[in-house]
Structure 1
């Protein structure tokens, strides 16, 4: 069974323009992500899917593989195009965020193993316990509630589950019932191609969370927990902190 990782990569970003090509460490952000994901032991192939010639050339410049796509509303749609036009033999496709230069290859391997070991699941993703109130209340941090079998019940930008009679702070950090969803997915090929043909669904449009389309149309999303979140780069402050960490680790 061939497993392929795909890194959707757009050049434009509203909060941090051209972030994937920032290179204050001596490497572009997309190269850092590529190198981290390349350490996965369960990926057979890795490719960057981009609509930008600049990113395409940058990836080829450091020896990576890249595919030029058309314009798409989401990374999932971009991955589906690559699956149809380039990754003909890929049975599982892993969506790896391009702005996570410190993504753990062990997380990628755990996600792939989760889907392989859960034949009833259409796709899989990861989550980690929320340990502070600020993150719990932050609507940019997506939360997920799971069934007892580990499959997702619902994703929301609001704190779910709601604690009616308990102050959230009394449960944090060690008794947290809340899970932070991490934006990495593994899809079975037929499901991915079918999902991208479905129009946006009502809850997806209200919450602006694409994974709700899968749940609303009856899919099973299996969720595994990991010990800590991966760190995405969304703002100049995020990038500055990453550069500092990288320089300290490599000094």
Structure 2
């Protein structure tokens, strides 16, 4: 397992932040920042899977590759499945990595960390998490918690994902970061499954895989990428880049 196809789902229909992929961040559209981080990870070609010609044009103007997908998809997983069939119809890539299009500061090492668990043939899906270091984050339902059992090094096996504060008792809590490395067969299986009971209850798509018996392993990373969902998030991102630059 040496290479993955990195697919970045991107859509315009964000109600809280209209035209989110094209928002200017330090002179480049946000989606281009994400694409550059994906390319820097060096695990394989990166392609934006979009639903609007304007996104495609912005990516191509920056020298990247994008494919048009249906505007009717209900999830990023469905979008990357369509993109996979368009970009790689012959099945050259055994691993498909889903990188969210609203994480312009994700570190290349974090992308690689999601890919690494698939070195174990027993693992269907790899993903990442980071330790929650604030009391606010421990109780915030928007911080999705990964409940895991440790394996070796920074690798863990996922037992559950929840918006609740879990597990109880002393010890660290971990925030799940929605970067997924799927075996091709696992992605093909996943998109055929109906939404599962716990997925519907928690509003967490990854629970569908666990409920169907798939194995998800989670790498612990040091950094947590900033999701961009509101105008306030955009201003925080710009301020952070100005400080760093």
Q: What interval of TM-score do these two structures reach, taking the shorter chain for normalisation?
A: over 0.9
Q: Distance in 2 between matches of 1:132 and 1:44?
A: 35
Structure 1 residue 24 displacement after superposition: 4.5
Structure 1 residue 52 displacement after superposition: 1.0
Q: Does the 8 Å contact 1:83/1:90 carry over to 2?
A: no
The alignment partner of 2:84 has SS state of helix
User: Does 1:214 find its partner at 2:214?
Assistant: no
User: Does 1:29 find its partner at 2:35?
Assistant: no
CA RMSD of aligned residues (A): 1.3
**Residue correspondences, number:** 237
Q: Distance in 1 between matches of 2:54 and 2:200?
A: 31
User: Does 1:234 find its partner at 2:235?
Assistant: no
Give the match for residue 192 of structure 1: 187
Query: With structure 1 as the length reference, what TM-score do the two structures score?
Result: 0.91
Q: 1:148 to 1:35 in 2, by over 3 A?
A: closer
Q: Does the 8 Å contact 2:4/2:94 carry over to 1?
A: yes
The alignment partner of 1:38 has SS state of helix
Give the match for residue 166 of structure 1: none
Give the match for residue 19 of structure 2: 18
Map 1:148-163 onto structure 2 (within 5 A): 148-149=150-151, 150-163=156-169
Q: Aligned to 1:125, which of 124, 127, 148? A: 127
Unpaired runs of at least 5, structure 1? 164-170
Query: With structure 2 as the length reference, what TM-score do the two structures score?
Result: 0.93
Question: Which deviates the most, 187-196 or 241-250?
Answer: 241-250
Would you identify which runs of 4 or more consecutive aligned residues in structure 1 move more than 2 Å?
247-250
Give the match for residue 72 of structure 1: 73
Q: Distance in 1 between matches of 2:17 and 2:135?
A: 26
Q: Distance in 2 between matches of 1:228 and 1:90?
A: 28
